[in-house]
A and B are shown apart, each in its own frame.
Chain A
Amino acid sequence: MMALARALAFRLLVAVLLVYLLFPFYYAVLTSMKGGSAIFSVDYWPRQIDFSNYARIFSEQPFALNILNSVLVAFAVVALSLLLGLTAAFSLGRIRFRGRSALLFAVLAVSMFPQVAVLSGMFELVRAFGLFNSLLSLVFSYMIFTLPFTIWVLTSFMRELPREIEEAAIMDGAGPWTLIVRIFLPLLWPAMVTTGLLAFIVAWNEFLFALTFILSNEQRTVPVAIALITGGSEFELPWGGIMAASVTVTLPLIALVLVFQRRLVAGLTAGAVKG
């Protein structure tokens, strides 16, 4: 009897948690399928399945182009972050040099500033490099978010790898690049997937830089494009369209997480126990 009550209480707790986590997203999906004044009635179950909001966001603005921009930026950020993160982790985790830990903490310190604090300085840099209103400005600026944690996570994973494996490879004639590509890359793969996915999410959702550095609709990324969706008049906020767009851009993230799910968990827990 006690056991049954306990099991029930546990299920209830899980149910509450799930509702708490999933309700906002569920409500967004619900709203995205409503049209006109139905938006303003509070419903908890779908009354109609109407995809016209979805169709409209693609026809009224270059939303497909915005998605493509986001994909390009996010993949470029992930690829560059992982490349720089892995090579930096190799030197920070494996090579003894003066000022190594100072450098490591400097990298961490970069991520402590609020985004607004670096915005104007970053704007000057972007202009100086002639990247204004170009997707490259976003790739360039997003690295200040992604590199610190990429470097830190990969460095700590790198330190967990037995030194003798590296030394065996050196005895076998491997140079630094062979070491990184043929020994460390495969061994750090779970950590790379985890950090890569986090970097992807950061780049995919970033708003402030994307709003500041990009001027034209055709160059915009998804978060800004969604925020700038306008209704028929300046007094109307097209909630249906905004929700439809939000749901659309969340789906790729969910798909990515599902695909890499097993790797992700392995990456998050690997290194906790020596194995």
Chain B
Amino acid sequence: MAEVRLVGLRKSFGRTEVIHGIDLRVEDGEFVVFVGPSGCGKSTLLRLISGLEEATSGEIWIGGREVSQVPPAKRGVSMVFQSYALYPHMNVYRNIAFGLSLAGASRADLDARVRAVAEKLQIAELLERRPRELSGGQRQRVAIARAIVREPQVFLFDEPLSNLDAGLRADTRVEIARMHDELRATMIYVTHDQVEAMTLADRMVLLNDGRVEQVGPPAELYRQPRNLFVAGFLGSPRMNLLEVQSGEGGLLLPGGGSIAHSGELPRGQLTLGLRSEDLHPTSGEGVLRGEVTLVEELGETRLVHLRIGDGQSVIFRHRELPGPRPGDRIALDADPERALLFDGNGERL
């Protein structure tokens, strides 16, 4: 097992630079998830670590060895691909054994390792089948078996669940988490799905446009986003972002409400971030008032869209029954400690 360290890593395709100098340290045995909108460079970053793409500049250290000039198979990494990428013309056994046989493993050793991995992933009875005779979930297991059998120092996952249907995805997610507990291997996982990222990650790396926006445990990114991008990317529904004026002793909200604020604040226009679960209906004055425009029923809770004037609206999570109806006028209170403030550059204060 090994730690992974990236130093000043850059990648250009032609004249376009897509990775703008990334420094990152993934601890031994850690589960790190790269997440970000499509085109943010998360897959490219993973491919740089795997060796499928060559870095334009910078260093990649795996287990105390600088590997940016080392061919992929010799880096001690295994990769699970989005489409599984099983060899269609080989049966499951040969799919798993291919890498070992190329590495020159003895027949007995190879056979023992393939069977042990197949046993562990419960695909022992499928060894003679071809990939096209397997279900999506089974293919996924074979792909993981193929990665495990080489006993790599680092596992790389490139959106491995996006081809599975919703139910199987949740199951496989749990299984990957269990596999990580069992193997205690360093894992780097790329996804655009924030639920996957939040549930699996020890630490998340949120990328945007080839740069790291924030690194940290999922709860930290959720609760203490460093800037507006992180705040807006994580959480569903998106965080409510309101234009507010800071003045004497507090913040002036659209619609006339105000929130007291103790700390020093720059004067002028700021952005206030409030998550939908931090807004509560109140019978009193509240800080925000408006008219319900839409109610999205989720069963256990419902999302209520509230127009608060100035063309702005907020979404809050409503728990009690009965829910409000479109046209109702509602006042909301906000948790002042949970409220986030961002300056004109989008950085959190």
Highest count of chain B CB atoms <10 Å: which of A162, A168, A170, A171? A171
* Residue contact A169 to B79, C-beta cutoff 8 Å: no
* Residue contact B102 to A168, C-beta cutoff 8 Å: no
Q: How far is the CB of A12 from chain B (nearest CB, A)?
A: 42
Contacts known (A171-B78, A172-B98, A174-B102); A165 close to B73, Cβ less than 8 A: no
List of B residues within 8 angstroms of A167 by Cβ = 52, 79, 81, 85
Q: How far is the CB of B190 from chain A (nearest CB, A)?
A: 14
Contact digits for B52-76, partner A, Cβ 8 Å, 1 yes 0 no:
1000000000000000000111100
List of A residues within 8 angstroms of B71 by Cβ = 173
Tell me, yes or no, whether A187 is within 8 Å of chain B by CB.
yes
* Residue contact B50 to A183, C-beta cutoff 8 Å: no
List of A residues within 8 angstroms of B52 by Cβ = 167, 170-171
Q: How far is the CB of B211 from chain A (nearest CB, A)?
A: 25
Tell me, yes or no, whether A164 is within 8 Å of chain B by CB.
yes
Q: How far is the CB of B169 from chain A (nearest CB, A)?
A: 19
List of B residues within 8 angstroms of A169 by Cβ = 87, 98
List of B residues within 8 angstroms of A173 by Cβ = 71-74, 99, 102-103
Q: How far is the CB of A274 from chain B (nearest CB, A)?
A: 11
Q: State which size class the interface on A falls in.
A: 10 to 19
Closest A residue by C-beta to B81: A164
C-alpha gap A174/B72 in the complex (Å): 10
List of A residues within 8 angstroms of B77 by Cβ = 171
Q: How far is the CB of A116 from chain B (nearest CB, A)?
A: 43
* Residue contact B98 to A187, C-beta cutoff 8 Å: no
Tell me, yes or no, whether A52 is within 8 Å of chain B by CB.
no
List of B residues within 8 angstroms of A174 by Cβ = 73, 98, 102
List of A residues within 8 angstroms of B103 by Cβ = 173
Contacts known (A164-B81, A164-B83, A178-B102); A170 close to B88, Cβ less than 8 A: no
C-alpha gap A162/B82 in the complex (Å): 11
* Residue contact A168 to B72, C-beta cutoff 8 Å: no
Closest B residue by C-beta to A174: B102
Q: How far is the CB of A182 from chain B (nearest CB, A)?
A: 8
Partner of B99, one of A164, A165, A172, A183: A172
* Residue contact B102 to A165, C-beta cutoff 8 Å: no
Highest count of chain A CB atoms <10 Å: which of B74, B82, B98? B98
* Residue contact B102 to A186, C-beta cutoff 8 Å: no
Contact digits for B141-161, partner A, Cβ 8 Å, 1 yes 0 no:
000001000100000000000
* Residue contact B87 to A171, C-beta cutoff 8 Å: no
Those of B76-104 within 8 Å (CB) of chain A: 77-79, 81-83, 85-89, 98-99, 102-103
C-alpha gap A169/B99 in the complex (Å): 8
* Residue contact A168 to B87, C-beta cutoff 8 Å: yes
C-alpha gap A167/B71 in the complex (Å): 12
Contacts known (A164-B81, A165-B88, A187-B89); A171 close to B102, Cβ less than 8 A: no
C-alpha gap A169/B103 in the complex (Å): 12
* Residue contact A170 to B85, C-beta cutoff 8 Å: no
Contacts known (A173-B73, A173-B103); A168 close to B89, Cβ less than 8 A: no
* Residue contact B50 to A171, C-beta cutoff 8 Å: yes
Contact digits for A61-85, partner B, Cβ 8 Å, 1 yes 0 no:
0000000000000000000000000
C-alpha gap A237/B20 in the complex (Å): 80
List of A residues within 8 angstroms of B82 by Cβ = 164
Highest count of chain B CB atoms <10 Å: which of A168, A169, A178, A187? A168
Q: How far is the CB of B141 from chain A (nearest CB, A)?
A: 15
Contact digits for A103-144, partner B, Cβ 8 Å, 1 yes 0 no:
000000000000000000000000000000000000000000
List of A residues within 8 angstroms of B74 by Cβ = 173
Q: How far is the CB of A175 from chain B (nearest CB, A)?
A: 9
Q: How far is the CB of B113 from chain A (nearest CB, A)?
A: 14
Q: How far is the CB of A185 from chain B (nearest CB, A)?
A: 9
Q: How far is the CB of A61 from chain B (nearest CB, A)?
A: 46
Contacts known (A171-B50, A171-B73); A183 close to B87, Cβ less than 8 A: yes
Those of A153-203 within 8 Å (CB) of chain B: 162, 164-165, 167-174, 178, 182-183, 186-187
List of B residues within 8 angstroms of A164 by Cβ = 81-83, 85
Q: How far is the CB of A170 from chain B (nearest CB, A)?
A: 5
Q: How far is the CB of B78 from chain A (nearest CB, A)?
A: 7
Closest B residue by C-beta to A165: B85
Contacts known (A173-B99, A186-B89, A187-B89); A168 close to B81, Cβ less than 8 A: yes
List of A residues within 8 angstroms of B146 by Cβ = 168, 172
List of B residues within 8 angstroms of A172 by Cβ = 73, 98-99, 102, 146, 150
C-alpha gap A135/B334 in the complex (Å): 91
List of B residues within 8 angstroms of A171 by Cβ = 50, 52, 72-73, 77-79, 99
C-alpha gap A209/B177 in the complex (Å): 68
Q: How far is the CB of A30 from chain B (nearest CB, A)?
A: 46
C-alpha gap A173/B89 in the complex (Å): 18
List of B residues within 8 angstroms of A168 by Cβ = 79, 81, 85-87, 146
Closest A residue by C-beta to B102: A173
List of A residues within 8 angstroms of B79 by Cβ = 167-168, 171
Closest A residue by C-beta to B83: A164
Between A and B, 7 residue pairs with Cβ closer than 8 Å are A164-B81, A164-B83, A164-B85, A167-B79, A173-B72, A174-B73, A178-B102
- Shortest beta-carbon contacts, A-B, top 6: A173-B73, A172-B99, A164-B85, A168-B85, A186-B89, A173-B102
Interface residues of A (CB under 8 A from B): 162, 164-165, 167-174, 178, 182-183, 186-187
Given contacts A169-B87, A173-B72, 18 further A-B contacts (CB under 8 A): A162-B83, A162-B85, A164-B81, A164-B82, A164-B83, A164-B85, A165-B86, A165-B88, A167-B79, A170-B72, A171-B50, A171-B72, A171-B73, A171-B78, A171-B79, A172-B73, A173-B73, A178-B102
